């Protein structure tokens, strides 16, 4: 295919994809603004499939204000995302140099965890740091979040070299998939490529590289490419070949780390190897916010950090009962848009902010989802034919605040396939259930929800809107 | 004291009103479009052709394209509609100039990232079905996560620089690069499965 043909093909991209993209871009680049439009469905509540059956039960349930969340709490999240446990990484191999340690794996925690609002599943490994090859001030023990492999993936090897990127400080929050509990972790890292195979994790036995680890992690690229890296490591900026010793690997990494970011895409020149809360909460205002962001009885804040060459940025999103809200606090540009709001010391807060009174009025989405039987709900816009095979249906929820009103929203999505060889295509449908603080529920269309919330990333074009 | 001056600030019209002007064949539709979207459209054109004069000409061709298309079109989202036109116009100019000399634009860089499977500067082949490829790419984009959809469109549809994408999403530059690498890998697989040789 020529470049011109590729661009001609792109010129024929479906228009709705362009529209979605433009809407997303505008959202990211605007300040949080809420429309002044009227909520259309007040006083005209449509039938909800579930609530018709259990209306008498639902109202008290929706008004249940007994949610209290401190540290480990029971959370009912509802149907998890189906399909693969986690999105398989298809990153090309390459040793991405960030914070690099030699470490032993003490244990892999037995349960899977997920980030609220995400469909990725993770395992957590405890690492004991033997040597910091690149990185100062690291604690002796770190945590590694990694996707989709089995818990015994590290078994059978003496030691490892990891290149890591820090994603959390004292209170990195995940939800335990088995117990449905909120759990906090300190010192959370990910492998620089979030992949264990031919990426930034190398295994050693008897002081020599053990390439069986790469096969074990089941790398998805054609097999020739990893062999190329091991046969010609210098050519590919890779620290090990088939016969490299542990000592040689460390020396090679130090050489590779001397490249600048412009010379090699594998190098990250970030000056922050390890950050603590002291790197984020510096001014008096920031320290006051630290208290506001601490886990409380009412809700918790999902924390994410990112380290740049010149600053540490952190983003906090309020989570209630396991569901994301639209309250965000941004330090040094974590959620910043295009127009350069990323200088040190800048704090941005979303327009939405939940008081204790707001939290007391929120509908209990967890309990609603727990009682929701997706097999009893049919897609509202498409006709199911014999040629269509059911792939999945999911329900997920968020909280939103518009002016002084708080809402819970559940999005239900269906996916049917008409071609088993192209499951990712097929036919999709979806709908939204909107719960207000008075306990009312309405089924709303995409356009109506957009009028209420604006260009909210939770709102997706779930189907071809019938005009 | 008499008023020293009166100032008014022009406010962009709503898209619906601008589209209505097109339908009424009122040429102020072009002025209003230019007032509201000039910077945005210019950025897209410049990302592709990397020349101020050429970008200005792309804008003129875009406005003409919109004038000719509306009516009968009545776009739901005028910005997206104009985006598709400016892209087509800029790409056409890009490939036309590329035959004479290299163009140091973001489009050139983003195309070079795809060189494993999109290579060669030859013209479009006679048997090439652009609509089919458009459907294949659309299917692929829909299979991506929301974040990766955004990154794909930013980089390969409007040729945004990596730094701009990183800023939009609050990610590091290296993370955007990694996401792009994953996207390209999946795209290559998809194109191969659809019979496009790579």
Contact B73, B118 (CB under 8 A): no
| Tens-digit pLDDT profile for residues B161-180 | 998 898 888 888 888 888 89
**A326 CB burial (10 A radius; 0-12, 13-18, 19+):** buried
Beta bridge partners of A318: A301
Residue partners of A40: CB distance under 8 A and separation at least 6: A448, A451, A452
Dihedral sign (CA A103, A270, A187, A216): negative
Contact A211, A219 (CB under 8 A): no
Chain A closest CA to B24's CA: distance in Å?
Answer: 24
Residue, of A153 and A194, whose pLDDT is higher: A153
Task: Please give the structure tokens belonging to residue B56.
Answer: 């200005």
Task: Please give the structure tokens belonging to residue A134.
Answer: 């690149």
Give long-range contacts, CB 8 A cutoff, 24+ apart: B139-142: B139/A422, B139/A424, B139/A425, B139/B190, B140/B186, B140/B187, B140/B190, B141/A13, B141/A17, B142/A17, B142/A424, B142/A425
Are A9 and B130 in contact (CB < 8 Å)?
yes
Are B172 and A4 in contact (CB < 8 Å)?
no
Alpha-carbon distance values, A430 to A51, A60, A325, A381, A444 (Å): 18, 27, 21, 8, 10
SS3 B73: coil
Q: Chain-wide mean pLDDT for chain B?
A: 85
Are A5 and B150 in contact (CB < 8 Å)?
no
Chain B closest CA to A51's CA: distance in Å?
Answer: 31
pLDDT at A282 > cutoff 70: yes
Residue-level pLDDT at A53: 25
Q: If you measure CA to CA, which chain A residue comes closest to B146?
A: A457
Of B123, B124, B145, the CB nearest to A87: B145
Distance CA A161, CA A203 (A): 7
**B8 CB burial (10 A radius; 0-12, 13-18, 19+):** exposed
CA-closest candidate to residue A444, choices A38, A41, A16:
A41
Average pLDDT (A11-27) is 88
Q: Which of A22-26, A27-31, A232-236, A239-243 has the lowest mean pLDDT?
A: A27-31
For residue A283, the tally of other CB atoms under 10 A from its CB is 11
Distance CA B96, CA B120 (A): 14
Residue-level pLDDT at A187: 80
Residue-level pLDDT at A228: 72
Residues of B in contact with A19 (CB under 8 A): 76-77, 80
Residues of A in contact with B146 (CB under 8 A): 24, 457, 460
Are B171 and A306 in contact (CB < 8 Å)?
yes
User: DSSP character for A80?
Assistant: P
In this complex, how many residue pairs, one in chain A and one in chain B, have their CB atoms less than 8 Å apart? 170
Contact B41, B63 (CB under 8 A): no
Residue-level pLDDT at A39: 22
φ, ψ dihedrals at B123, nearest 5°: -70, 170
Distance CA A72, CA A188 (A): 18
**A300 CB burial (10 A radius; 0-12, 13-18, 19+):** buried
Residue-level pLDDT at A338: 33
pLDDT band at A81 (very low <50, low <70, confident <90, very high): very low
CA-closest candidate to residue A38, choices A457, A432, A438, A403:
A403
Residue, of B4 and A245, whose pLDDT is higher: A245
pLDDT band at A83 (very low <50, low <70, confident <90, very high): very low
Give long-range contacts, CB 8 A cutoff, 24+ apart: A421-424: A422/B139, A423/A391, A424/B139, A424/B142, A424/B143
Helical segments of B27-76, H only:
28-49, 52-69
Of A12, A422, A457, the CB nearest to B133: A12
Q: If you measure CA to CA, which chain A residue comes closest to B187?
A: A90
Alpha-carbon distance values, A25 to A129, A238, A299, A337 (Å): 41, 36, 29, 9
CA-closest candidate to residue B105, choices B39, B175, B43:
B43
Are A335 and B170 in contact (CB < 8 Å)?
yes
SS3 B37: helix
Are A14 and B150 in contact (CB < 8 Å)?
no
Residues of A in contact with B120 (CB under 8 A): 1-3
Distance CA B100, CA B66 (A): 29
Q: Please compute Rg for chain A using Cα positions.
A: 24
Contact A147, A86 (CB under 8 A): yes
Could you tell me where the beta strands, DSSP code E, fall in A141-274? 141-147, 159-166, 172-176, 182-185, 188-191, 201-205, 208-209
Q: Which of A10-19, A252-261, B67-76 has the lowest mean pLDDT?
A: A252-261
User: Which of B115, B132, B168 best tests the A interface by mutation, with the highest count of A CBs <10 A?
Assistant: B168
Q: Chain-wide mean pLDDT for chain A?
A: 74
User: Which of B159, B181, B182, B196 best tests the A interface by mutation, with the highest count of A CBs <10 A?
Assistant: B182
Are B169 and A28 in contact (CB < 8 Å)?
yes
Are B185 and A92 in contact (CB < 8 Å)?
yes
Q: If you measure CA to CA, which chain B residue comes closest to A447?
A: B76
Contact A204, A246 (CB under 8 A): yes
Dihedral sign (CA B19, B20, B24, B27): negative
pLDDT band at A76 (very low <50, low <70, confident <90, very high): very low
Are B170 and A336 in contact (CB < 8 Å)?
yes
Residue, of B12 and A263, whose pLDDT is higher: B12
Of A3, A21, A26, the CB nearest to B111: A3
CA-closest candidate to residue A273, choices A294, A285, A257, A249:
A257
Residue partners of A352: CB distance under 8 A and separation at least 6: A32, A325, A326, A327, A328, A400, A401
Are B83 and A11 in contact (CB < 8 Å)?
no
pTM: 0.56
pLDDT band at B41 (very low <50, low <70, confident <90, very high): very high
Whose structure tokens read 């396939």?
Answer: A417
Of B124, B142, B149, the CB nearest to A5: B124
Task: State CA A243 to chain mean position distance.
Answer: 37
Are A13 and B137 in contact (CB < 8 Å)?
yes
User: DSSP character for A97?
Assistant: B
Of B133, B169, B170, the CB nearest to A9: B133
User: Which of B73, B77, B131 best tests the A interface by mutation, with the highest count of A CBs <10 A?
Assistant: B77
Are A10 and B182 in contact (CB < 8 Å)?
no
| Tens-digit pLDDT profile for residues A33-71 | 333 222 222 222 222 322 222 222 222 233 333 343 334
Are B125 and A2 in contact (CB < 8 Å)?
yes
Residues of A in contact with B94 (CB under 8 A): 7
Alpha-carbon distance values, A74 to A65, A175, A178, A180, B105 (Å): 15, 10, 11, 6, 53
Residues of A in contact with B131 (CB under 8 A): 12
Q: If you measure CA to CA, which chain B residue comes closest to A310?
A: B172
Residue partners of B132: CB distance under 8 A and separation at least 6: none
Whole-complex ipTM: 0.85
Residue, of B90 and A418, whose pLDDT is higher: B90
Residues of A in contact with B117 (CB under 8 A): 1
Average pLDDT (A310-316) is 81
Q: What is the largest CA-CA distance in chain A?
A: 74
């Amino acid at each position: 295919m020529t470049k011109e043909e590729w661009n001609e093909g792109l010129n024929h991209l479906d228009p709705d994809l362009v529209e979605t993209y433009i809407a997303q871009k505008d959202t990211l680049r605007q300040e949080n603004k809420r429309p002044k439009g009227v909520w259309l469905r007040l006083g005209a509540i449509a039938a909800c499939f579930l609530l018709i059956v259990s209306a008498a039960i639902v109202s008290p349930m929706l008004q249940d204000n007994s949610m209290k969340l401190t540290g480990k709490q029971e959370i009912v999240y509802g149907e998890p995302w189906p399909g693969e446990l986690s999105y398989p990484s298809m990153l090309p191999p390459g040793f991405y140099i960030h914070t690099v340690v030699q470490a032993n794996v003490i244990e892999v925690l037995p349960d899977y965890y997920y980030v609220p609002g995400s469909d990725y599943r993770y395992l957590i490994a405890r690492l004991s740091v033997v040597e910091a090859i690149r990185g100062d001030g690291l604690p002796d023990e770190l945590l590694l979040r990694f996707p989709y492999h089995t818990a015994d993936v590290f078994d059978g090897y003496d030691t490892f070299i990891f290149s890591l990127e820090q994603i959390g400080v004292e209170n990195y929050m995940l939800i335990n998939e088995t117990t449905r509990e909120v759990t906090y972790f300190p010192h959370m890292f990910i492998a620089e490529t979030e992949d264990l195979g031919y990426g930034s994790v190398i295994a050693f036995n008897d002081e020599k590289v053990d390439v069986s680890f790469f096969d074990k992690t089941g790398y998805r690229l054609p097999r020739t490419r990893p062999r190329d890296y091991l046969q010609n490591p210098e050519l590919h900026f890779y620290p090990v070949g088939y016969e490299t010793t542990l000592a040689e690997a460390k020396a090679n990494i130090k050489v590779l780390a001397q490249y600048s970011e412009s010379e090699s895409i594998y190098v990250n020149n970030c000056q922050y190897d390890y950050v603590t809360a002291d790197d984020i909460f510096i001014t008096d205002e920031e320290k006051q916010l630290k208290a506001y962001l601490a886990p409380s009885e009412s809700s918790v804040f999902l924390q994410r950090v990112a380290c740049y060459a010149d600053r540490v940025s952190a983003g906090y999103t309020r989570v209630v009962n396991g569901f994301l809200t639209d309250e965000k606090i941004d330090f040094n540009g974590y959620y910043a848009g295009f127009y350069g709001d990323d200088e040190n010391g800048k704090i941005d807060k979303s327009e939405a902010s939940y008081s204790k009174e707001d939290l007391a009025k929120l509908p209990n989405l967890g309990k609603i989802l727990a009682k929701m039987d997706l097999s009893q709900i049919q897609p509202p816009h498409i006709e199911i034919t014999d040629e269509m095979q059911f792939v999945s249906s999911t329900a997920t929820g968020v909280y939103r605040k518009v002016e002084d009103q708080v809402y819970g929203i559940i999005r239900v999505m269906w996916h049917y396939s008409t071609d088993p060889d192209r499951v990712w295509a097929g036919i999709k449908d979806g709908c939204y259930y909107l719960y207000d603080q008075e306990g009312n529920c309405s089924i709303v269309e995409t356009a109506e929800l957009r009028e209420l919330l604006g260009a909210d990333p939770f709102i997706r074009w779930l189907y071809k809107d019938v005009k | 004291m008499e008023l020293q001056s009166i100032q008014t600030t022009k406010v962009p019209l709503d898209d619906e009103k601008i589209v209505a002007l097109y339908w009424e064949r009122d040429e102020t539709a072009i002025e209003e479009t230019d007032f509201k979207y000039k910077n945005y459209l210019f950025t897209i054109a410049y990302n592709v052709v990397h020349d101020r004069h050429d970008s200005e000409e792309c804008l003129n061709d875009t406005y003409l394209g919109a004038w000719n298309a509306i009516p009968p079109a009545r776009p739901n989202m005028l910005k997206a509609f104009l985006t598709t036109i400016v892209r087509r116009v800029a790409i056409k100019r890009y490939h036309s100039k590329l035959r004479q000399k290299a163009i140091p634009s973001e489009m050139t860089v983003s195309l070079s990232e795809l060189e494993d499977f999109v290579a060669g500067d030859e013209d479009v082949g006679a048997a090439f079905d652009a609509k089919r490829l458009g459907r294949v790419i659309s299917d692929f984009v829909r299979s991506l996560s929301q974040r990766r959809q955004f990154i794909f469109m930013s980089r390969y549809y409007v040729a945004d620089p990596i730094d701009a994408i990183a800023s939009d999403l609050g990610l590091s530059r290296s993370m955007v690069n990694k996401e792009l690498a994953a996207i390209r890998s999946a795209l290559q697989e998809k194109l191969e499965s659809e019979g496009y040789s790579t």
